[in-house]
């Protein structure tokens, strides 16, 4: 004889099964929704930010070229461009597919880095004594430095301003932490200084898809010619 207290009635067992099915179904729907959201976010990061950055870069390049068209030295109230203003174009032959006529914009916040290469405002301008330090994304948002690992000592970096063509030669690189702000000082190396008082610093995130470290490449200025003359051989 079955124990009437130990065996659930058919209606109770059916209710429990229905409840379990509803819970499983709800959890499944939530997981599918989360997966769709993550997929859409990945598409946004990997594709749409580059599409938007491409449009912003074209606009910034046009602004820089308009600045060059007058032929007169660019002037600003404080002697430096305001945040968000494009003031130069950069060419890196080794990274020609990524950095070729890429606008250099004052500032290193999200809007500037989404439109080109950002210039650390507290550092020197091109062709000035000190450290002309810039930053670029390595992944998403235009990713001008996506191929940063291809750079080698001796590679050239060419910067075009309203007045000059400036050529830098890369000398050394290092991977540092985000807190190592000494890398953009006027002369980062005290005991083994770079052989020039006009240097360039390229900075980007490392590893490529994270921001836990920074990859730095330093170079020295090796030539400067008037913008009214022929372009350097590296870009002509």
- Average pLDDT on 130-142 reads 91
Q: What are phi and psi of 200, to 5 degrees?
A: -125, 145
Question: Which CATH number fits the domain that encloses residue 172?
Answer: 2.40.260.10
Token code pair at residue 200 = 């360039």
Q: Is 129 inside any structural domain?
A: yes
pLDDT for 77 equals 82
pLDDT for 44 equals 44
Q: Is 173 inside any structural domain?
A: yes
Number of folded domains that form the chain? 1
Q: Is 85 inside any structural domain?
A: yes
pLDDT tens digits along 85-120: 999 999 999 999 989 999 999 999 999 999 999 999
Q: Is 222 inside any structural domain?
A: yes
pLDDT tens digits along 13-55: 556 666 656 666 666 665 555 554 544 444 444 445 555 567 8
Q: Is 206 marked active-site?
A: no
Q: Is 195 inside any structural domain?
A: yes
d(CA 184, CA 75): 24
Could you tell me if 226 and 164 are in contact, meaning their C-beta atoms sit under 8 angstroms apart?
yes
d(CA 165, CA 136): 21
Which alpha helices (DSSP H) does the chain contain, by range?
Answer: 10-43, 49-69, 110-113
Q: Is 1 inside any structural domain?
A: no
Could you tell me if 115 and 90 are in contact, meaning their C-beta atoms sit under 8 angstroms apart?
no
Range of the domain at 66: 47-226
Residue of 119, 138, 205, 206 with catalytic role:
205
Q: Is 140 inside any structural domain?
A: yes
Averaged pLDDT score across all residues of the chain: 85
Q: Is 98 marked active-site?
A: no
Residue of 98, 119, 137, 160 with catalytic role:
137
What's the whole-model pTM score? 0.79
Q: Is 205 marked active-site?
A: yes
Q: Is 2 inside any structural domain?
A: no
């Amino acid at each position: 004889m079955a124990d009437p207290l130990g065996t659930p009635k058919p209606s109770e067992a059916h209710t429990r099964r229905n409840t379990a099915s509803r819970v499983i179904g709800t959890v499944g729907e939530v997981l599918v929704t989360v997966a769709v959201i993550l997929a859409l976010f990945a598409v946004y990061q990997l594709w749409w930010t580059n599409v938007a950055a491409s449009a912003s870069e074209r606009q910034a390049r046009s602004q820089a070229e308009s600045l060059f068209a007058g032929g007169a030295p660019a002037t600003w109230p404080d002697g430096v461009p305001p945040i968000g203003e494009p003031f130069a174009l950069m060419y890196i032959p080794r990274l020609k597919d990524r950095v070729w006529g890429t606008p250099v914009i004052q500032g290193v916040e999200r809007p500037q880095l989404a439109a080109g290469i950002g210039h650390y405002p507290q550092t020197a301008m091109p062709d000035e004594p000190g450290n002309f330090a810039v930053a670029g994304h390595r992944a998403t948002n235009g990713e001008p430095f996506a191929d940063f690992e291809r750079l080698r000592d001796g590679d050239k970096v060419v910067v075009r301003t309203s007045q000059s063509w400036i050529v830098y030669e890369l000398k050394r690189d290092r991977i540092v932490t985000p807190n190592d702000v000494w890398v953009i000082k006027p002369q980062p190396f005290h005991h083994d200084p770079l052989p020039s008082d006009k240097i360039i610093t390229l900075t980007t995130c490392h590893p490529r898809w994270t921001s836990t470290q920074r990859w730095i490449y330093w170079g020295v200025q090796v030539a400067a010619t008037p913008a009214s003359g022929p372009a350097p051989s590296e870009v002509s």
